[in-house]
Chains A and B, each alone.
Chain A
Amino acid sequence: MHVLDRKLLRDLRRMWAQVLAIALVLACGVMILVLAIGVQRSLEDTLEAYYERNRFAEVFSGAKRAPDMLLSEIRALPGVRVAETRIVGQVVLDLPGLEEPAAGRVVSLPDVDVPALNLPLVLTGRPPAPDAVDEVMVTRAFAEANGFVPGDRFSANLNGRKRTLTITGTALSPEYIYVLGPGAMLPDNRRFGILWMPRRALAAAFDLQGAFNDVSLALTRDGRAEEVIPALDQLLAPYGGAGAYGRAEQASHVFIEGELTQLRALARILPPIFFLISAFLVNMVLARIVTLERGVIGLMKALGYSDAAVAGHFLKLATLVSLIGIAIGWSVGSWLAQGMAKLYTEFFEFPYLVFQPRAGSYAISAAAGVATAGLGAIQGVMRAVRMPPAVAMVPPAPPSFKRGAVDRMATWARFSQPSMMVLRGIGRWPGRAAFSILAIAASVAILMSASFFPDSLDEIIDTSFFRQNRQDAMLILTGDRADSVVEDARHLPGVLAAEPMQYLPAVLRHGHLSRRIAVEARDPDATLSRVTDAAGRPVTPAGDGIVLSDRLAERLDVVPGDRIEMQLLTGRRETLTLPVSATATVYFGLGAYMDRAAMARLLRQPPQASVVNVAMDRDKARALYAAAKDTPGLAGTVLLFQTRTAFSETIARNILNTTVVYIVIAVLITVGVTYNGARIQLSERARELASLRIIGFTRAEVSYILMGELMLLSFLAQPVGWAMGWAFAYAQVKSFSSDLYTLPFVMTSATYAKASLVVLAASAVAALIVRRRIDRLDLVAVMKTRE
């Protein structure tokens, strides 16, 4: 090893704390890149392979009852490569050990051969025999959540007929990677599952012999979903077509895409912040090292080392720091990526999702890390290179301080000399002070963008569950029923109140903008389920008007008073033009709301209900559950009080994880900036401080000078951090917002305060660690050494 390299290693060992502080900040950037890019690519590759191998369809549509012979016409549509029909239905399940009714989505398997599209991946057991009437294959998650193995039985209410079904196997499907039951907000594998049954049995159960109610298509290489969808809609229209849609609107796919979008955003937004801060830290520390090593630099030049050798020496130092950061970032990133992949398998049903180390993500993050250090080093390196050899041999001139406006103010305010030293220190290196403020502010911002989540979610829970969806349960009917069903529901045991609601699948249009959506029609006096505006006041549609959620209004570019077109996808498939009477604040889905009576009038039919919302006496829940399991015409129940708990629990757990990660990151940045700042100050001011001690200043007074500047900068960073945090959080809300859900932007004073407290505490601790060195200051030695 070269002598200079040996020096380098010893220098690094001596400055280990500073090196580590920088490396950790850099490691955060590297870690997030490895994590986000690695998981994103793993997810994308898994998805692509899974979709390909199990023939995930590209266009989907439901229908009421379409004859089998329509299939040949569908197949003949231009752009269609494969078309397959199925029977799909909702069933209520009575599971052993579960009091409340569970729900299932039953999907037919072809009589002969395996499905041409959406091929289930059989994991255990076998698919049901084609001629069996009581055999069923279920999703793995459903089986695991209920402790089922092949051979186990449970009973199901299939279109009003109660049957005992035997599980023959478990499977996964590319169609149901993310599984949400009707009305559910989070996956609940205990109470909802996908069931595969032979087509013959389902056709009999649902009275669909010679017919189908679901079709999936795969397209040719040049087939375009946008062209196939209207053609398919046209073919299915006479048979109650529910509106075709592509993968972009397929529920499971949309959720995964949402996750991928967030990972991509994560990889884009956060790492640059860390890299920038690391570059600043490298810059600050290297500038100091170059100043301290003037003698060595001069010596190297005097000895005949070339400029390149001098530059190389300091670049190596920066590179080594970055390599340490990269190593830490790689290992933590890989570890977190595995954890994240595991977390995904909790929400997403993949046959495999192992986080495979991606050479690409490691290479990109390493390149970014080394480039960061190089960028940070460049200024110091250039200064070392430009230092004329003779000048490098004499001590540097004292930095030139000037009297400025701040100074005059401080003099006028009669600040003490130590305070003047603090202020002049900031004034002397304004760039360094400004960047320190920015970096500390970034920590505040990162903390704020993590801690605003709980408030935001509280607001969601408050609005969604306590102002809007206040019902204890939703009874989902197998189809639209006459209002007498509400009366029936009132007579179920334990039901205290019942209110009807109708779902009407429709396409809403305004100009060239359109959205496929289920319009909810309610009675104006409904209190169990309603929508509210931003201020929490109930909003009811006026007359024939329609109320849109804020986001839907935004997507369709309408404001109250505008008129939109509503094309219904059921019944006579009428197209109506309606005024938008108001907008509502809704966090889940893109909602549209109408008066049920007005809807009935427009459709020239008596009012109908597809869901009955009930308030229940929980003490009589058991009787209600038993009745629900045996009520014909019931497709499922959603127990909202359980949804509330599950939602809060899942969210609370994830928030805790996220918050811990964000706090660690923010503390690392703050400590990295303050600790290095303090060390550099100590190094720059050692002689001054020692002189002050000699002339009789106390340790506390001397410490004040050292810590004063850093704490002042930390305080100045707070308002900047608040502004940045506000902007971060706002950007996050925007990036989270999708057609599926949105977050309210809630910023409480507690969020500001918490972030500031954590950051100020971290910087105080970092400064105090350095302060201990003042106690150990060897006054005589300091005075003897030449700068």
Chain B
Amino acid sequence: MSELIFRSEGLTKVYRTGDVSVYALRGVDMRLHAGELTVLLGPSGSGKSTLLNILGGLDRASEGRAWFRDHELTAMTDRELTAYRRDHVGFVFQFYNLVASLTARENVELVTEIARAPMPAAEALAMVGLDHRLDHFPAQLSGGEQQRVAIARAIAKRPEVLLCDEPTGALDSKTGIQVLEALERINRDLGTTTVVITHNAGIQAMAHRVVFFADGRINEVRENATRARPAEITW
């Protein structure tokens, strides 16, 4: 078995609004392996995004511990978390989060400017098949193209992990497949550990490992003996 990249013990997250406490995570114990493509599957509000945010250093747990390799994420200061995100993590969001006033290339440069050993922005965009759209603004790109720019931006720093929150959530199946193909290719060619959140059960077929979420807990973890190609996925 490959080495562990993420590990958590009793990870709990409680949101308090007024007198109400909402449990987003209820003691999650979990292991993710380096180089794998993992799909986190579950209905809305099951805690997938919260877990991803904690693993990505965007949010803090209320209780429990989480590690990235042998660094304890739950013990890091804000400054350390910032450095962790900058050096190790790439994010892909459901709504792309491109900066509207920057071109595709410039959106990628947002990362390459601060990363330690980035690939050229054009190369990252070529990896997602957008080498012909370098100087287009987000408004001039389709949703699928925008999401691929976001993926290019995430991988340009050569991160060890790529965390994707509903990357196809806002896309139709045709453009969604293009995005999934880009993710699959990056996972295969660069060996980047990839975590994809989705509530689209079809996507689990392309994962090495599928984690089922419900109610802030992990219900089941399944390994796929054979993986489907993105083009074979339907939804």
A327 interface hit (Cβ, 8 Å): no
**Chain A, residue nearest B54 (CB):** A390
Given contacts A307-B78, A786-B95, contact A4 B53 (CB under 8 A): no
User: Is the beta-carbon distance between B58 and A301 smaller than 8 angstroms?
Assistant: yes
| Distance of A197 Cα from B99 Cα, bound (Å) | 81
For A392, give the chain B residue with the smallest CB separation: B58
Q: Which residues of B contact A14 (CB under 8 A)?
A: 101
CB distance from A297 to the nearest CB of B (A): 10
B86: Cβ under 8 A from any A Cβ = yes
A295-B85 contact given A302-B56, A390-B53, CB 8 Å threshold: no
Give chain B residues whose Cβ lies under 8 Å from the Cβ of A10: 101-102
Question: How distant is the Cα of A10 from the Cα of B99 in the complex, in angstroms?
Answer: 11
Check B95 against A306 for contact (C-beta < 8 Å). Answer: no
Q: Are B113 and A3 in contact (CB under 8 A)?
A: yes
- Residues in B with CB closer than 8 Å to A303 are 85-86, 91, 110-111, 114, 153
Q: CB-CB contacts of B32-58 with A at 8 A, as 1s and 0s?
A: 000000000000000000000100111
| B110 partner residues in chain A, CB cutoff 8 A | 3-4, 299-300, 303
Whether A304 lies near B85 (C-beta < 8 A) is yes
Which residues does chain B contribute within 8 Å of A296, judged by CB atoms?
A: 97, 99
A192 to chain B, nearest CB (A): 66
- For the complex, give the distance between the alpha carbons of A583 and B65 in Å: 87
CA distance A393 to B92 in the complex (A): 11
- Which one of A298, A306, A389 has the highest number of Cβ atoms from chain B below 10 Å of its Cβ? A389
Per-position contact with A for B88-110: 1 when CB-CB < 8 Å, else 0? 01010101010101100011011
| In the assembled complex, B79 has its CB within 8 A of some CB on chain A | yes
B122 CB, min distance to chain A CBs, angstroms: 14
Would B82 and A307 count as touching, CB distance under 8 A? yes
CA distance A4 to B111 in the complex (A): 10
Check A388 against B59 for contact (C-beta < 8 Å): yes
Beyond A7-B99, A7-B101, is A304–B113 a contact (Cβ under 8 Å)? Answer: no
Q: From residue A195, how far is it (CB to closest CB) to chain B in Å?
A: 72
For B78, list chain A residues within 8 Å (CB).
Answer: 307
**Distance in Å from the Cβ of B171 to the closest Cβ of chain A?**
14
- Which among B82, B84, B87, B93 has the greatest number of chain A C-beta atoms within 10 A? B82
Residue contact B109 to A3, C-beta cutoff 8 Å: yes
- Min Cβ gap B134→A in Å is 13
Contact B58–A11 (Cβ < 8 Å): no
Query: Within the complex, which residue of B59, B107, B115 is in contact with A389, where a contact is CB–CB below 8 Å?
Result: B59
The verdict on A295 contacting B101 (CB below 8 Å), with A3-B106, A393-B58 known, is no
Q: Given the interface contacts A10-B101, A295-B97, does A302 sit within 8 Å of B114 by beta carbon?
A: no
Chain A: which residue is nearest B81 at the CB level?
A389
Instruction: Report A380-392 CB contacts with B as 1/0, cut-off 8 Å.
Output: 0000000011100
Q: Is A154 an interface residue (CB 8 A)?
A: no
Indicate with 1 or 0, residue by residue over A271-315, a CB within 8 angstroms of chain B CB atoms: 000000000000000000000000110111111111101000000
Whether A304 contacts B99 in the complex (CB less than 8 A), given A388-B59, A390-B53, A390-B59, comes out as no
User: For the complex, is A653 an interface residue (Cβ under 8 Å from B)?
Assistant: no
Asked if A388 contacts B106 (CB within 8 A), the reply is: no
Task: Check: A6 CB closer than 8 A to any chain B CB.
Answer: yes
Asked whether B221 is an interface residue with its Cβ less than 8 Å from the other chain, the reply is no
Cβ-based interface call for A402 (8 A)? no
Q: Pick the contact of A299 from B57, B97, B113 — CB < 8 Å? A: B97
Given contacts A4-B110, A303-B85, contact A393 B97 (CB under 8 A): yes
Are A301 and B82 touching (Cβ within 8 A)?
yes
In this assembly, does B228 line the interface, its C-beta being within 8 Å of a C-beta of chain A?
no
Does residue B83 face the partner (Cβ distance < 8 Å to A)? Answer: yes
Nearest neighbor of B110 in chain A, beta-carbon distance: A3
Given contacts A3-B106, A3-B113, A388-B59, contact A302 B99 (CB under 8 A): no
A2 contacts chain B at the CB level, 8 A cutoff: yes
Evaluate contact between B114 and A304: CB separation under 8 angstroms. Answer: yes
In the assembled complex, the CB of B88 is this many whole angstroms from the nearest CB of chain A, namely 9
B31 to chain A, nearest CB (A): 23
Inter-chain contact B83/A304, CB cutoff 8 Å: yes
Smallest distance from the beta carbon of A421 to chain B beta carbons, Å? 25
A42 to chain B, nearest CB (A): 44
19 residue pairs from A and B, CB less than 8 Å apart: A3-B102, A3-B109, A4-B110, A6-B106, A10-B101, A10-B102, A295-B97, A296-B99, A299-B91, A299-B97, A303-B153, A304-B84, A304-B87, A305-B82, A388-B58, A389-B58, A389-B59, A393-B58, A786-B95
The residues of B with any CB-CB pair to A shorter than 8 Å are 53, 56-59, 78-79, 82-87, 89, 91, 93, 95, 97, 99, 101-102, 106-107, 109-111, 113-115, 153
User: Top 6 closest A-B pairs, CB basis?
Assistant: A304-B86, A390-B59, A390-B58, A10-B101, A304-B85, A389-B58
Query: Which residues of A line the B interface, CB within 8 A?
Result: 2-4, 6-7, 10-11, 14, 295-296, 298-307, 309, 388-390, 393, 786
